[in-house]
């Protein structure tokens, strides 16, 4: 095995070195073009390693362009990144202190609650109640923070090309971690039954127990699932990038309805076997689903409802409120009130159709879950493709400013220059940037940014929240299932609807038998209370214990584009593109592929016809 990064991507076991969010692309470039005459000038500079930008970078390189791909962060994927537990807490903690940073400034209102009840885990019950923290923190080997720093350093040495990122300040002393924990360990008035009011010796000990296994967690900032028959899967297959990745099918989708979660019938067999839907409902649901798969073929059915709310159309199909919730909340996966009321019939039918068409390809639902975190792994896989074909990568880049000039000698061509704090300077003909880089642009080139709040919670629980409350049965059970649960607005006194994703060891999210729950709520009036009450409703029936819950607010940045339907902001005569913030409230990544394609097409306009991410021969196909 000549390249450890490649081995990691193929490894099903939760190997910590691959699960950290920055296994670097390979330095080896057997097919790279000869080095350009000027090593500081590129056809394009791409700022931000989110998925859209990573796909765009790979596509440009595959079309023969020289690309410099830069991230100010020391990790890949921006708001789609995935972290071990210590790093996640550190980043969210740093964010609360540093609101001026264009990336960290998108996160605030961070709180951690730790289960402190006696005997909740075997470790706590067997330990004396006095805080055992100091001995654990005093040795470096046991210190999760020291470990995290060790990883940082190895990443830097593996990075290429040569410009070394500025060294971080010396390692924070271990005591800082505890200070950080204490600062953000607050009480949860709305879920007081689950959590302690104040950090206690117990809660601190419970937290340290978790932190010692930090590396077994892969916690996504924006958890994502992938449509089995979506354009993104096609792109992964055609471009060959899918070979770097591993997936598991999502097991089930649930709807929270009438005070409990119920499985959403995903197939004909689910409808047939469903014991809670009446015969007439079954027929109406099947009839609707059969129509929706190919709705364009019978336009007369929905003609009168074009431009009208999807919900109205569904009512006209005589679907009961529960079936409407199945379709809207759990199939179209829309839970935000504003979106629910403004979604038109055509849009809703497209979403329903996309879901239905993805059924029956892999597993029992329409979705795939990527190991180690979808957004993070997919972004890195496209970066790897880009690097294999000669793209240049710098993470942890201390960007100072972006200067755009009209070059006088070359017929008024625009040249983009980026400079680092240490004076390093790179130039390019074109620039693709994510919203986190907008403030480095000259004021006249900046798009207007607005922001929208998304409330998120990531919770570590001790067992499958859909499992039996009987401890013996729960212990006997397999790995927790991979599920999505949709909470319609008002389902559990939540103002806005909530989506919850349960992940498990199967996708290397957490140690065996535990589960990670990601919840999110967005839209007007959404709040921490929405996600907390959903979490409580989700864990209650199984009697699962929430070991740790981190909640925070995310400011999703919106670039105001010329046309409402456009996601990308273009300026400087189409030389500069600002892409969308990908870490919003949605659950899928389809828009990233579409957007990358449109950026690529517009950037390559006028050039000889260039294919978007042409296929790479699969060595497996060439076997006799």
Partner 1 sequence: MSADQHHQKKVKTTNEEREAQRQRSIKKLAEYKGLCSLVSAKRKAKEYDDAAFNLTTKLLSLNPEFYTMWNFRRQIILDRRTRMDTEAYQALCLSELQLADAALKINPKSYWVWNHRRWILENMPEAAWTRELKLLGRMLDMDARNFHGWGYRRYVIAASGARSPKEEFDFTTEKISQNFSNYSAWHYRSKVLVQAFADPAERAKVIDNEFELVRNAIYTEPADQSAWLYQRWLLSLVPQDMDRWSKELESVQELVEIEPESKCKVIMQGQG
Q: Which residues bind partner 1 (CB under 8 A)?
A: 1-3, 6-7, 9-10, 26, 28, 30-31, 240, 243-244, 268-269, 271-273, 279-280, 282-284, 286-287, 388, 616-620, 622, 624
* Residue (32 or 120) nearer to partner 1, CB: 32
Composition of the chain by helix, strand, coil, percent to 5: 40, 20, 40
* Residue (280 or 475) nearer to partner 1, CB: 280
DSSP 57-110: HHHHHHTT--EEEE-SSSSSSGGG-EE-HHHHHHHHHHHHH-TTSTTGGGEEEE
What's the min distance (Å) between Cβ of 551 and partner 1?
38
* Residue (269 or 560) nearer to partner 1, CB: 269
* Residue (269 or 490) nearer to partner 1, CB: 269
Angle CA(89)–CA(103)–CA(233) in degrees, nearest 5? Answer: 90
What's the min distance (Å) between Cβ of 277 and partner 1?
10
Cα–Cα distance measured from residue 136 to residue 163, given in angstroms and rounded to the nearest whole number = 37
What's the min distance (Å) between Cβ of 352 and partner 1?
18
Q: Is 440 helix (H, G, I), strand (E, B) or coil?
A: helix
What's the min distance (Å) between Cβ of 246 and partner 1?
9
What's the min distance (Å) between Cβ of 24 and partner 1?
13
Q: Is the peptide bond before 541 cis (omega within 30 degrees of 0)?
A: no
What's the min distance (Å) between Cβ of 489 and partner 1?
30
Among candidates 69, 61, 205, 75, which has minimal Cα distance to 130?
205
Among candidates 439, 452, 432, which has minimal Cα distance to 576?
432
* Residue (190 or 267) nearer to partner 1, CB: 267
DSSP 544-565: --EEEEEEEEEEEEEE--SSTT
Helix-helix angle 231-239:374-388, to 10 degrees: 30
What's the min distance (Å) between Cβ of 23 and partner 1?
13
Task: Give the C-alpha distances (Å, rounded to integers) separating 293 from 286, 357, 587.
Answer: 11, 7, 21
What's the min distance (Å) between Cβ of 598 and partner 1?
27
Q: Is 369 helix (H, G, I), strand (E, B) or coil?
A: strand
Task: Give the C-alpha distances (Å, rounded to integers) separating 614 from 102, 257, 390.
Answer: 34, 45, 16
Paired strand residues for 247: 370
What's the min distance (Å) between Cβ of 319 and partner 1?
12
* Residue (449 or 610) nearer to partner 1, CB: 610
Q: Is 609 helix (H, G, I), strand (E, B) or coil?
A: coil
* Residue (159 or 381) nearer to partner 1, CB: 381
* Residue (268 or 512) nearer to partner 1, CB: 268
Pairing of strands 252-257, 483-487: parallel
Paired strand residues for 41: 427
Angle CA(71)–CA(73)–CA(79) in degrees, nearest 5? Answer: 90
* Residue (28 or 445) nearer to partner 1, CB: 28
> Do 437 and 205 contact (CB within 8 A), yes or no?
no
* Residue (5 or 328) nearer to partner 1, CB: 5
What's the min distance (Å) between Cβ of 553 and partner 1?
39
DSSP classification of residue 309: B
Cα–Cα distance measured from residue 164 to residue 154, given in angstroms and rounded to the nearest whole number = 13
* Residue (288 or 397) nearer to partner 1, CB: 288
What's the min distance (Å) between Cβ of 326 and partner 1?
15
Q: Is 115 helix (H, G, I), strand (E, B) or coil?
A: coil
> Do 556 and 490 contact (CB within 8 A), yes or no?
no
456-485 b/e (C-beta count within 10 Å ≥ 16 → b):
bbbbbbbbbbbbbeeeeebeebebbbbbbb
* Residue (410 or 623) nearer to partner 1, CB: 623
Among candidates 399, 339, 395, 441, which has minimal Cα distance to 164?
395
* Residue (6 or 534) nearer to partner 1, CB: 6
Q: Is 493 helix (H, G, I), strand (E, B) or coil?
A: coil
What's the min distance (Å) between Cβ of 8 and partner 1?
10
> Do 365 and 248 contact (CB within 8 A), yes or no?
no
What's the min distance (Å) between Cβ of 333 and partner 1?
23
What's the min distance (Å) between Cβ of 30 and partner 1?
7
* Residue (176 or 618) nearer to partner 1, CB: 618
What's the min distance (Å) between Cβ of 452 and partner 1?
39
Q: Which two tokens stand for residue 250?
A: 């999502």
* Residue (609 or 621) nearer to partner 1, CB: 621
């Amino acid at each position: 095995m000549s390249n450890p990064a490649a081995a990691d991507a193929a490894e099903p076991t939760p190997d910590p070195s691959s699960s950290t969010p920055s296994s670097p692309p390979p330095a080896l470039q057997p097919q790279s073009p000869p080095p350009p005459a000027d090593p500081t000038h590129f056809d394009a500079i791409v700022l931000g390693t989110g998925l859209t930008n990573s796909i765009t970078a790979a596509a440009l390189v595959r079309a023969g362009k020289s690309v410099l791909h830069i991230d100010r962060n020391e990790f890949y994927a921006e708001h789609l990144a995935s972290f071990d537990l210590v790093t996640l807490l550190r980043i969210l903690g740093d964010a609360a202190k540093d609101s001026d940073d264009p990336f960290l400034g998108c996160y605030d209102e961070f709180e951690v609650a730790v289960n402190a009840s006696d005997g909740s885990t075997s470790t706590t019950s067997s330990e004396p109640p006095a805080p055992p923290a100091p001995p654990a923190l005093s040795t470096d080997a046991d210190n999760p923070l020291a470990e995290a720093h060790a990883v940082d350093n190895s990443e830097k040495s593996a990075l290429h090309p040569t410009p070394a990122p500025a060294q971080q300040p010396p390692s924070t002393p271990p005591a800082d971690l505890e200070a950080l924990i204490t600062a953000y360990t607050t009480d949860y008035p709305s879920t007081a039954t689950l959590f302690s009011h104040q950090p206690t010796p117990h809660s601190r000990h419970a937290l340290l127990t978790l932190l010692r296994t930090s590396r077994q967690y892969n916690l996504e900032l924006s958890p994502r699932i992938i449509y089995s028959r979506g354009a993104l899967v096609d792109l992964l297959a055609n471009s060959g990038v899918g070979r770097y990745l591993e997936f598991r099918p999502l097991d089930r989708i649930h709807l929270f309805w009438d005070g409990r979660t119920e499985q959403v019938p995903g197939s004909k067999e689910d409808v047939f076997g469903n014991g809670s839907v009446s015969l007439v409902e079954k027929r109406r649901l099947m009839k609707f689903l059969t129509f929706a798969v190919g709705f364009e073929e019978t336009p007369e059915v929905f003609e009168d409802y074009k431009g009208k709310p999807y919900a109205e159309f569904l009512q006209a199909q005589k679907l009961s409120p529960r079936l409407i919730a199945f379709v809207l909340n759990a199939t179209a996966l829309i839970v935000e009130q504003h979106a629910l009321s403004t979604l038109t019939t055509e849009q809703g039918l497209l979403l329903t159709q996309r879901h239905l068409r993805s059924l029956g390809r892999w597993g029992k639902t329409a979705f795939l879950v990527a190991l180690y975190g979808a957004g993070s792994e997919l972004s890195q896989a496209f970066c790897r493709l880009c690097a294999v074909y000669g793209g240049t990568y710098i993470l942890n880049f201390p960007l100072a400013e972006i200067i755009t000039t009209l070059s006088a000698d070359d017929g008024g061509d625009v040249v983009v220059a980026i400079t680092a704090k240490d004076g390093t300077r790179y130039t390019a003909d074109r620039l693709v940037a994510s919203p986190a880089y907008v403030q480095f642009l000259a004021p006249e080139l900046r798009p207007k940014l607005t922001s929208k709040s998304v409330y998120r919670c990531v919770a570590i629980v001790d067992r499958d929240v859909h499992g039996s409350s009987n401890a013996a049965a729960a212990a006997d059970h397999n790995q927790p299932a991979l599920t999505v649960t949709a909470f319609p607005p008002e389902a559990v006194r939540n103002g806005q609807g909530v989506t919850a994703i349960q992940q498990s060891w199967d996708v290397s999210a957490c140690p065996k038998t535990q589960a990670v729950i990601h919840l999110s709520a967005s839209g007007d009036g959404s709040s921490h209370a929405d996600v907390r009450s959903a979490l409580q409703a989700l864990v209650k029936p199984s009697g699962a214990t929430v070991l740790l819950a981190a909640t925070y607010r995310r400011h999703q940045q919106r670039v105001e584009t010329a046309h409402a339907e456009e996601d990308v902001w273009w300026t400087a005569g189409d030389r500069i593109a600002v892409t969308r913030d990908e870490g919003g409230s949605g659950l899928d990544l389809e828009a990233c592929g579409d957007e990358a394609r449109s950026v690529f097409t517009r950037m390559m306009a006028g050039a000889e016809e260039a294919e978007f991410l042409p296929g790479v021969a699969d060595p497996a196909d060439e076997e006799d």
